[in-house]
Structure 1
Amino acid sequence: MPPLPLDARALAALAANPGCHRRALLDGAGIDKAALARALGTPSSFGQSQFAFMRGHSFESRVKADGGAELARLLHERLADGSEPPAPGAVTAPDLTAAGPEGRTARTALALREATTAGGWAVLDHPMLALPVAGTPAYLEPDAIVVHPGGEWTVVEIKSFPMIDGAADSAKVGAAARQAAVYALALEAVAAHTEGATVRSQALLVCPKDFSNLPTAALVDLRKQCATTRRQLTRLTEVEDIAATLPDGTSFDVCRPAGELTEALDAVPAAYAPECLAACELAFHCRAKARAGDSVQALGRGVRGELGGLTTVGSVLAAARGEHGDAADPTVAALRRAAALRAEALAGAGRPIVQFPAPLRGSREEAACR
C-alpha cells in the first residue's frame, strides 16, 4: 500500500513523545494508524471534523485570493520595521508545480533562492519542504512562506479559529506554533545553502478577526518550540534500528486478523501517556494495554517520573502500605508518608473542625462551617 506522508502535526506529536518506538516505526513506514486502530477494534475519533476542514479551506482560499498580497501586507503591518510596504502588483507568486515530492522540494528551494536574489516580496503557496526524521525524509507542506525584501523567510500558518480582540485560544495557538516550528526547522536547511537568507524566529498566524471572516494576524515566537522540537527529534531512534529488533515476518497489514496485528504491535515498545489521546490514532489501544498491564504510564508522564523504579500501580500501593520497597528510598518514604496523612485525614473526618460556643451551636454559622 502507498505510505502515508508525515505532516507537521504528526511530527509535532512524535517529537513530543520521542520515547515511543511504536509511533516512530509506524509513522516512518507511512502506515495508516487510523485503519490499524479500526482493524484492532479500538477506533479513535482523533482528527479534524469535515465541517472544520471545509471552514478552514474556505478561509485559506479567501486569504490567498489575491495571489498572496494580503499575506505580505499583514506581515509588513505586524513587523512595523520601517521598510517599504508591498506595492500593488509587486508581490510575486512563483509556480511550484513539479513531479512528486522530491521534485516539488527542489522547485521550492529554487524558488526561494530566486526570490531572495531578486530582493522583492514573494509568497510561496503550499511549498514543499523536506526534514529527515529518524533516518527517513518527511515531506512537509506549510500553508505559505513569505519572502521579505531583506532576505528573511517567514512561515505562515492559516487557521480558522477566531482571534477575538487580538487574542486567540492559547491551546490552539500553542498547537499552531509547534507545527510552525517543524516547518521552520525544515526551512533552515534550505536557508543554510542560500546566500543572504535567514529564517525568521516568528511565524505569522493568520485567523478570522473577531466573529467575521476578515483576516487578521499576529506574530508567534517559535524559539522555544524550535529548540524543543530539534532536541526531541535528535532523540528519536532510527527506524532501521527499531525494525531490526522485530521478529521475521512482522506485518501491519490491516487485512490480517486482529490477534496477529496485536501481536505485531506488542513487539514494538510504546510510551503511552494520557496526552496521546489528543495526538495519536492508536491511543485507545495503547491505553487499554497500559491499564491491563497495571502500568503507571496510564497516570501521566508527571506521575511516572515521580515514581522512579515503581512501574506498576500494584507496586506503588504495596510500597505505600509498607509491604514493598526500601524505606530508605525517597519515593517509598514519600508514598508511606502520604498514606499516613491520608489515613489520619480519613480517621478525623467525622470530628468537627471548629468547636462553637453554646450560643452559636446549631446556628447558620456552624452549619456553613461544617
Structure 2
Amino acid sequence: MLGIDERLAAIRGSSDRKRHNARTLAALTTNPGCARRAILDAAGVHKDKIAARVGHPTEIGKMSKIAVLRGTFFEQQVKAEGGAEMLRLLRAELGLPIEQAHYEDLGAAEVDATDPRSKREQSNESRYQLTRQAMRMTAGSGPDAGTMFASPMLRIAFGGVWVYLEPDLVAFQIGDKFHIVEIKSFPIIDEVADPGKVAGALRQAAVYVIALQNLMEELGRGRDLVSPEVLLVCPKDFTNQPTAAVRNVRKELAVIRRQLERMDQVREILRAVPQEVTFDLAADRQGRPTRSPADLKRALNQIPARYSPDCLSNCEMGRFCRSEARGSTNVLGRTIREDLGGVDSTSMAVALATGRLRPTDDLEETAHLLRTIYTMRADCLQGAS
C-alpha cells in the first residue's frame, strides 16, 4: 500500500499542488464533515479545474478588478506613513494607551538566487524567518513595546506541507499581548456590517491567530501571548475613512483547530477511498485535459460528500455536489437535515407529511412534525385564497 504522501500525490495526479492560504483554510470550517473536500484539499487538488471539467464552473475566489483595486487602495491607506492611520485607530477608536509605536515592514526579505528552491518558496521562508526573529526580539522587550509589523509572514502545517500566510497589515503588541489586524474593504454602516462578510473575515483572522500562536510556541513563549481578540478595520459608512472594531474569535479558533487536527488524520479518511481513484487532469499537446468528464464524475462519486447550501459560497465543488444531492434533504440545509434525521429524501418527507407513507416507530415523531407543518401550510394557503 502506498504511503500517505504518495497516495495524496496519486490522487492529485500531474498537476502542481494547490497553494492554500488563510481564506481556503478558513473555508474548511464551513463543512467539517465532508470527506470529499477533506481529501481534495489535503491532496492539493485544484478544485476549480475539476468543477469546470465536470460542467459546474465556479466563481469562488475570483474578484473583479474594481474590487481588487478598492481593497488594495484601502489597505495602503491604512498602512501609509508608517502606520499613522493604524496608530490613530488604536488610540482614538479603541482607547489604547499607546504613546509611541515602532513600525517595521517585514515584507521585503531578500531572495538568494543560488538557492535551488523556487524564488517564491524561498521568499516565503526568508520572510517567515525574518518575522520569527522580529517576534522573538519584541516578545522579550517588555509590555510597553507598542510595536507594529507590516506584512509579517506566518505558517501553518496542512496536509504535510507548510502553508504560508500573510496577515493583511500588522500584528501589534500592546501590554503583554500580540494581536492580529484584519483589513477588509466592505463597509461598516451605522456600526453594522454584512454578517456573512464579517464571519468570513473573523474566520480568516482566526487562522492568523493560530499561526502566530504556533510561532510563539516555537519561540518558547507560549500561545497565551497571542490574544484571541482581533482588530477588524473597514471603511466607515460610505467613505474611505477607516474605522475599527475589536472581535473575539475564540469560537472560530476552536472550530479551525478541530478541522486542522482532522486533516492531520486524513490517513483514516483515505481508508474508505479506492486505491485507483485519481483526479489527474493530464493535458494533451494542445493543453486540453485528456480525462473525460464522465470518468472524472465517477472518481468524485467514490468519495462521499456532505453537501449543504453553504458550500455554494465556500467550496469550488459546491455546484457539482448540489446537482449530485438533488432530491435529498441535504439541499435543505444542515439544520433541516438534522431535524429530519432518518428522512433521506424530500420525496420521503412529502410522503410522510401527506400521510401517503406510514412511518416506522423511529420516524413517528418526525412524521408527526411534518404532518403538523403540512396542515398549517394548507390552512395558511386556504386563508389567503
TM-score range, shorter chain: 0.7 to 0.9
Gaps of 5+ in 1: 354-368
Q: Take 1:226 and 1:147, find their aligned partners in 2: how far apart are those partners?
A: 19
Q: What residue number does 2:171 align with?
A: 146
Find out whether 1:8 has 2:22 as its counterpart: yes
Asked if 1 retains the 8 angstrom alpha-carbon contact of 2:352 and 2:371, the reply is no
Find out whether 1:37 has 2:72 as its counterpart: no
Find out whether 1:267 has 2:302 as its counterpart: yes
Asked if 1 retains the 8 angstrom alpha-carbon contact of 2:30 and 2:311, the reply is no
Find out whether 1:316 has 2:349 as its counterpart: yes
1:271-328 deviations in Å (ceiling 9; x for gaps): 100111111111110000001xx321111111111122222223333444253431x3
Q: CA deviation at 1:30?
A: 2.0
* Structural mapping, 1:224-239, within 5 Å: 224-236=251-263, 238-239=265-266
Asked if 1 retains the 8 angstrom alpha-carbon contact of 2:148 and 2:173, the reply is no
Q: Identify the match of residue 213 of structure 1 among 236, 240, 250.
A: 240
Asked if 1 retains the 8 angstrom alpha-carbon contact of 2:210 and 2:253, the reply is yes
Q: Take 2:373 and 2:43, find their aligned partners in 1: how far apart are those partners?
A: 50
Find out whether 1:112 has 2:135 as its counterpart: yes
Q: Identify the match of residue 364 of structure 2 among 315, 319, 332.
A: 332
How many residues in Structure 1 have an aligned counterpart in Structure 2? 346
Q: What residue number does 1:363 align with?
A: none
Amino acid at match of 1:139: Y
1:172-209 deviations in Å (ceiling 9; x for gaps): 22221111111111211122334387112211111122
Q: Take 1:237 and 1:195, find their aligned partners in 2: how far apart are those partners?
A: 24
Report the TM-score when normalising by structure 2. 0.80
Select between 234-243 and 25-34 the one with higher mean Cα deviation.
234-243
Q: CA deviation at 1:342?
A: 3.1
Amino acid at match of 1:110: Q
Q: Take 1:20 and 1:268, find their aligned partners in 2: how far apart are those partners?
A: 9
Q: Take 1:2 and 1:64, find their aligned partners in 2: how far apart are those partners?
A: 34
Report the TM-score when normalising by structure 1. 0.83
Q: In 2 relative to 1, CA 153–145 (structure 1 residues): closer, same or farther, beyond 3 Å? A: farther
Asked if 2 retains the 8 angstrom alpha-carbon contact of 1:145 and 1:156, the reply is yes
Amino acid at match of 2:17: P
* Structural mapping, 1:45-64, within 5 Å: 45-47=59-61, 48-64=63-79
1:129-153 deviations in Å (ceiling 9; x for gaps): 2223455543322113333253421
Q: CA deviation at 1:94?
A: 4.0
Q: What residue number does 1:195 align with?
A: 221
Q: In 2 relative to 1, CA 237–317 (structure 1 residues): closer, same or farther, beyond 3 Å? A: farther
Q: What residue number does 2:329 align with?
A: 296
Q: Take 1:176 and 1:348, find their aligned partners in 2: how far apart are those partners?
A: 40
Find out whether 1:247 has 2:274 as its counterpart: yes
Amino acid at match of 1:239: V
Gaps of 5+ in 2: 1-14, 111-121, 282-288
Q: CA deviation at 1:348?
A: 9.5
Amino acid at match of 1:128: M
Asked if 2 retains the 8 angstrom alpha-carbon contact of 1:7 and 1:138, the reply is yes
Asked if 1 retains the 8 angstrom alpha-carbon contact of 2:308 and 2:332, the reply is yes
SS of residue in 1 equivalent to 2:245: strand
